[in-house]
Amino acid sequence: MAGFPEGFLWGAATAAHQVEGNNLNSDLWVLEHVKPTLFVEPSLDACDHYSRFAKDIRLLASLGLNTYRFSIEWARIEPERGCFSRAVLDHYRRVLAACHETDVTPMVTLYHFSSPRWFAGLGGWENPLAGDLFVRYAERASRHLGDLISYATTFNEPNLPMLLGWVADLGVSLLTVRSMRNHAARAIGSDRFGCFFLGDAEKLQDHMIAAHHRARAAMKSGPRAFPVGVSLALQDEQMDGPKSQRDRKRAEAYEPWLEAAGASDFLGIQTYTRQRVGKSKDLPPESDVELTQMGYEFWPEALEACIRYAAGRVPVPIYVTENGVATEDDERRIEYIRRALAGVGNCLADGIDVRGYIHWSLMDNFEWIMGYRPKFGLVAVNRETQERAVKPSGRYLGWIARRNAMPEPAGK
């Protein structure tokens, strides 16, 4: 058996807005309910994880996984500017305690795309005050929860807006976006509505990088100085145009954040596919390749390529904080995991410091504007009854996690 290093983290991830349900004070809830909207459906109860977290964490542990990556929700913790909910902070203490009770290591994300609606009304991340507001939240969360947190990341994929700038056709009408924003602003009684997906990507990046460093320091000054990193969206950039174009994309969409990660305690890598870069923008998938429910090329080898690229740039340990595939065919998920992990094994064999693999996602959930159709889960969720059903891929990853090793290839 090809073994993984001792203490390797094996986990699954979720994000508050995608699983908890009824995230009423968030900016995204507003956007889901205005007309027109980019969302194909609203999140509503999601997976009702807010009340079912204890069972879900026990399920994760029963699979054999030892790590749960989840986000705490700013919109719940600070539902009005400057008003912090002790009851909600206590809720997240119970979530963390449920992890420890089952010997599961909690990795907490402070910000996974959603913001309080009052923050959107101030212009979101484009507002120069955004960093101060975020750092105050980080400091408060750490003071209340820090003794139970094992690892944290400030932001989930803060480089995504820059990356989206490279997509040739996002398939959304700018008119719809403008009208959705105007209606959302009106709905919350503001003249602005700034949210993570819709802002000026460069301004957002400057504000968020500065906020990352300050929030990291704030979190580490709490009751316990746990490692704090940042999770970035990476793609395996393959050239179908000039090399300089790929380098320009990397310089824009990755390097400023890789530098920030390099000055942190670890880098979280999140990748799903390869991306061919053309003369000016990304190219669409090739015509003869297998596509996932997201329309991405089925490309598990992207993980190895992304780890190697990032490892050449950051001097800190690497955790895979998300990797997975949207498919109804669970056999393909197993194949995806098998090949992605073979890539992690190759990186380890070359001495790259990879310390964990956290799969996206623990369960089928709300895939943002695409709603509930894409299925990323190791566990299926019946949204009528909220019953959970472990998929074979969940058992497969759990089997590997328990042994801390890949199965022998057939015939050996």
Residues belonging to the active site: 157
Sites for ligand BGC among residues 5-34 (CB under 6 A): 15, 18
234 binds ligand BGC (CB under 6 A): no
The contact mask relative to ligand BGC for 258-297 (x = CB under 6 A, - = no) is ------------x---------------------------
- Of 403, 398, 395, 324, give the one whose Cα is nearest residue 14: 324
Residues 6+ apart with CB under 8 A from 22: 44, 45, 46, 50
Q: How far is the CB of 339 from ligand BGC (least distance, A)?
A: 18
How many of the other CB atoms lie within 10 Å of CB of 361? 24
Q: Are 351 and 386 in contact (CB under 8 A)?
A: no
Number of residues that bind ligand BGC (CB under 6 A): 10
- Tokens of residue 17, six digits: 């807005």
What are residue 109's DSSP bridge partners? 71, 153
Task: Give the torsion through C-alpha atoms of 167, 305, 320, 205, to 10 deg.
Answer: -40
Question: Closest CB to ligand BGC among 298 and 376?
Answer: 376
Question: Closest CB to ligand BGC among 92 and 296?
Answer: 296
Residue type, 41: E
Judge residue 216's burial from the number of C-beta atoms within 10 Å of its C-beta, 0-12 exposed, 13-18 middle, 19 or more buried: buried
How many of the other CB atoms lie within 10 Å of CB of 258? 19
Q: How far is the CB of 44 from ligand BGC (least distance, A)?
A: 17
- Tokens of residue 391, six digits: 């998929």
Of the CA atoms within 13 Å of residue 179, those in its CB half-sphere come to 10
Q: How far is the CB of 157 from ligand BGC (least distance, A)?
A: 5
Please select the residue that binds ligand BGC; options are 20, 157, 236, 297, rule is CB under 6 A.
157
The contact mask relative to ligand BGC for 305-324 (x = CB under 6 A, - = no) is -----------------x--
DSSP letter at 173? -
Q: How far is the CB of 386 from ligand BGC (least distance, A)?
A: 19
Question: Closest CB to ligand BGC among 108 and 122?
Answer: 108
156 binds ligand BGC (CB under 6 A): yes
Q: How far is the CB of 89 from ligand BGC (least distance, A)?
A: 23
DSSP letter at 116? B
107 binds ligand BGC (CB under 6 A): no
Alpha helices in 300-383 (DSSP H): 302-311, 330-349
Residues 6+ apart with CB under 8 A from 174: none
- Tokens of residue 9, six digits: 């983290």
Q: How far is the CB of 82 from ligand BGC (least distance, A)?
A: 28
66 binds ligand BGC (CB under 6 A): no
Question: Closest CB to ligand BGC among 121 and 285?
Answer: 285
The contact mask relative to ligand BGC for 191-230 (x = CB under 6 A, - = no) is ----------------------------------------
> What does the alpha-carbon distance between residue 374 and residue 372 come to, in Å, rounded to a whole number?
6
233 binds ligand BGC (CB under 6 A): yes
Question: Closest CB to ligand BGC among 269 and 347?
Answer: 269
Q: Which residues bind ligand BGC (CB under 6 A)?
A: 15, 18, 156-157, 233, 270, 322, 360, 367, 376
